[in-house]
Amino acid sequence: MKRILIADDDRVAAEVLARTLARWEYDVTLARDGAEAWETLRRPDAPSVAILDWMMPQLDGPEVCRRVRAEPSRAHAYLILLTSRDTPADTIAGLDAGADDYLVKPFDPGELLARVRVGTRVVGLQERLAARVEELQAALSHVKQLRGLLPICSYCKCIRSDDNYWEQVDGYIAAHSGAQFTHSICPSCYKKLFAELDQGAEDKSLGGLPT
């Protein structure tokens, strides 16, 4: 959705700008002065791109930029200052106040469109990034993790879980990681086990007397 705010107290200039952008399929909202611009931009459903005239009643363009940047939920908006003020000092002041771009009037319509497109692209990138972060955060909360300092019994190797339950180490690991178990027997236990079995068999054949 290509939505854009135009703020200018000059009704003629605003109309020309709005019409030009509408022709390029932007959904235009108009503000007649800086206060109206700020009120529009601070709302959660505000357009993400705005073209602000510098000299406006109530709040001027740079002041609107400052306020937008100070508002965390709206600070990512792409702000273009459009003005007839053309000295380097003005450019610096405008960009330092928080504008993303600075266009001098009279503007070339093609150049304006190109710069607005940059704004739309940047905002699009940021929105995709924010969505991705949200996805990752949700996924992270579901991820099984084997971490921290685990209380383990030195004898039977049971691990005490968060809810004070001593569980077998294979159960604990399976619950807290993606690992799975395939149960078998290690060589030394095998030796021990068969030694016991052999011993037991011998005892039987000798009349079952325990050693």
CB of 121 to another protein, least distance (A): 24
Which of the residues 67 through 86 are near another protein (CB under 8 A)?
Answer: 84
Stretch binding another protein (CB under 8 A), from 61-69, 103-111, 121-129, 153-161: 103-111
CB of 110 to another protein, least distance (A): 10
Amino acid at 18: A
Distance CA 99, CA 97 (A): 6
Coil, strand, or helix at residue 108? Answer: coil
Whole-number Cα distances in Å, 7 to 49, 98, 137, 199: 11, 16, 37, 95
Cβ atoms of 98 and 118 within 8 Å: the answer is: no
Residue 12 interacting with another protein (CB under 8 A): yes
Residue 19 interacting with another protein (CB under 8 A): yes
Which of the residues 34 through 63 are near another protein (CB under 8 A)?
Answer: 55, 57
Q: Which residue's CB is nearer to another protein, number 8 or number 63?
A: 8
- Of 24, 31, 17, 30, the C-alpha closest to 2 is 24
- The residues of the shown chain that bind another protein, judged by CB under 8 A, are 8-13, 15-16, 19-20, 23, 55, 57, 84, 105-106, 109
